[in-house]
Amino acid sequence: MMQNSPVNQQEGARRVVVLSGPSGSGKTTLVRRLLQEAPVRLVKAVSATTRQPRPTEKPGDDYYFLTDAEFRRRLRDGEFVEHAEVFGSGFLYGTLRSELERAWKDAGWAFLEIDVQGALKVMQQYPEAVTIFLRASSPQEFERRLRKRGTEAEGLLQKRLAAAAEELKLADRYQHVVVNDELEQAVREICAILKAEEYRRNAG
């Protein structure tokens, strides 16, 4: 059995995984699989947002749905680790510090599924965070998937495509870039990354 030194315990106590990638690329399914199957303890940091819940979403589970005023009050009170207005949607999204603490208290990795703007801020605050960028093999493949999903009006779809192209420019700021064309392969790759990171930290 590997023993943790006090230093490693300290580092281990602040374990953070950041996953970003354009929405509509199968990210939701992938995240669900990772939360179920990862070889390390992942605790999803539930984000706060000012957008409306979708019919299938549960408050406190998928997001904390806040009014604009409540979101801004919490922001002023310093409750957020990061926040961003995502792809010009006009809606705010943010990670509450209390969510990270909840994960760590639970001896887990805080798992953040956030956009690139938020991810860059988290990288500054937690340089030891494991960062993963999910991408399609090509812009054409990404567009094909987004159209197949068929949930977006053309205008919004164009907006998402433009946002995805912008996000892709920042992919090299992440430690790992994983191609998400094939779900099983992506799950396996990310599980291997997490296992290696857990091992590295425990081994000191």
Q: How far is the CB of 52 from ligand 5GP (least distance, A)?
A: 10
Q: How far is the CB of 201 from ligand 5GP (least distance, A)?
A: 24
Q: Which is nearer to ligand 5GP, 93 or 174 (CB)?
A: 93
Give, in degrees to the nearest 5, the angle at Cα 139 between 178 and 18. 30
Sign of CA dihedral 126, 167, 170, 40: positive
Contact positions vs ligand 5GP (CB under 6 A):
23, 47, 51, 82, 84, 86, 93-95, 113-115, 117-118
Cα–Cα distances in angstroms (integers) from residue 125 to residues 3, 14, 26, 61, 97, in the given order: 27, 11, 28, 25, 12
**Rounded Cα–Cα distance for residues 202 and 109 (Å):** 13
Rounded to a whole number of angstroms, the minimum distance from the CB of residue 51 to ligand 5GP is 6
| Assigned token pair, 176 | 């790992």
Choose between 95 and 131: whose C-beta lies nearer to ligand 5GP. Answer: 95
Instruction: Give the nearer residue to ligand 5GP in terms of CB position, either 104 or 202.
Output: 104
CB 20 within 8 A of CB 116: yes
Q: Tell the smallest beta-carbon distance from residue 170 to ligand 5GP (Å).
A: 13
Return the residue nearest ligand 5GP (CB atom). Answer: 118
